[in-house]
Structure 1
Amino acid sequence: MKLKRLLVIALSLWLVPLVGCGGSATVKLTEEQNAFASVEGLGDLAGDDAMFASAFVAGAAPENRKDYGERGYQVAGVPTFDGDSVTVPVKIFGGVYSTSSRDGRRSKASSVTETEQLWTLQRVDGHWKLKDAPLG
């Protein structure tokens, strides 16, 4: 009985790496997914000057970083790709907690009204960066 149990355990340990969960597999994101991530993660990046600036093409980061941290962003339609440029309709909404506080404390949820804007991204060294991201 003990030998049978040991064989089952040994077989299980041998099969787990073969079946596994694909931990070593590399996931290739599509161009669209990469562009969407650049848009939808902007509110979180607004909590830090350097991270916020890195989301934009050099020199294009807006001065009002705090305003970006008080909003949420969602891709609201089909992007239009044109080479190394893409235009994305973005839904901008309030009701989120600001991430731009220096001491890490959350402020009260913003009461910004919902709007939709067209944002432009540009591929820089293989990464999508915001070129124009108006709030409204």
Structure 2
Amino acid sequence: MSPAVALAILVALVALAVAIGAVAKRRDGLRRAGGTLRFDAWDAYPAELGSRATLVQFSTEMCARCPQVRRMLHSYAEESDGLRHVEVDLTHRPDLSSRYRVLQTPTTFVVDESGAVRSRFHGVPQRHALTEALASL
């Protein structure tokens, strides 16, 4: 392989990696549909679901952004009646990551009073997107 071809391949790979990183960063924290998932409150024992909604945060011990999300969701839950914040540590319950299809931490679910997952956020939820998700309940 000539040096020019190798350099062209290298430049193309770097450009592709930058494009993928930019798209991933742009989508981080945006609201996504919850699908058909149902959250079981026993998975966060001894937690109960909120009367209006529950913010379920999936985290791990090594997650760098999880404490920031924990503080934000906790303060958000304190400001609203009928809203609870529950944290599930996947370090101690790795089986839940496959059950709820959690591929990264932090991941946050907005769960209604019946346990249906209405919205999900990957990464740090954007506050306005979280407000919209709760308003839609």
TM-score under structure 2 normalisation?
A: 0.29
Higher helix share: 2
User: Which structure: larger Rg?
Assistant: 1
Higher RCO structure (Cα 8 Å, ≥6 apart): 2
